[in-house]
Amino acid sequence: MRTGGTEGSGGLWAPDGAYLRRPPGWLFYGLLAACAGLLVYDVSGPGGGFVFALLAALGLVLGAVVWLVRLLAYWRASRSGNRVRSADAVRLVLCPLALLALWGLVSADVPLEARWALSRGGFDDVADGPVPADRSRRVGLYQVDRVEQEGAGVTFWVSGAGGMFGGAGFSYLPNGPWAATVDRDYQHLGGRWYWWAHVARPGPEAPWPRRRRRPGRPAVACAP
């Protein structure tokens, strides 16, 4: 029977629990990276998604629980006299550091801003030209369901964005959100571009809701 940093003769389900007393290996971190990649991809769209984000979050939570169990088992084995190796320590601290970095990136909207930066040229080209026919198309790194003219602006509905809570997309607003003809919770992306989410998708014949202005209040326009 072996203990400590080596695997017992029984492999994964060895009675001596040798597997749990080892730090997480490449298989564990590979699965963790797959969940993290799925989450980053899902939140790189406006409003994120739902199903993929939920699956990725569940996978990350399960990974954190497995890591905690193995950390406690390794700590208990080290108290029994097993030597703590530097390579084991690195593999033990890698998981919380990776999860903290992932949380920071997602909280700061880095996936969305990075994917948008790589796609903005394509959106600029569409917004500067005539509004195309209402059909699905690829714009930059996003699949767009529909492109619509809204006053002086142009709105792009992104396929699959917003999840179960409504549609989401990008809007080009040359006069700013104050002069937009449709009420949405616009979030600034840079320049005259904004993203929005959790808006009910109108049907083919549904009228767009118009912004109501208070009597005697002039429209506000952004400075060029």
pLDDT in tens, 113-142: 999 999 999 999 999 888 776 678 899 999
pTM for the predicted model, two decimal places: 0.72
In the 8-state DSSP scheme, what is residue 1? -
Average confidence (pLDDT) over 145-152: 88
Asked if 40 and 106 count as a contact pair (C-beta separation under 8 A), the reply is yes
Confidence of residue 161 (pLDDT cuts 50, 70, 90): confident
Asked if 130 and 147 count as a contact pair (C-beta separation under 8 A), the reply is no
Confidence of residue 169 (pLDDT cuts 50, 70, 90): very high
The DSSP result for 97-114, as a single string, is HHHHHHHHHHHTTHHHHH
Average confidence (pLDDT) over 199-212: 47
Indicate if the pLDDT at residue 48 is higher than 90: no
In the sheet where 187-190 sits, what is the strand order? 137-139, 142-150, 153-158, 167-172, 193-199, 187-190
Residue-wise pLDDT tens digits, 67-81: 998 888 878 777 766
Q: Higher-confidence residue: 211 or 51? A: 51
Strand ranges inside the chain, DSSP E: 137-139, 142-150, 153-158, 167-172, 187-190, 193-199
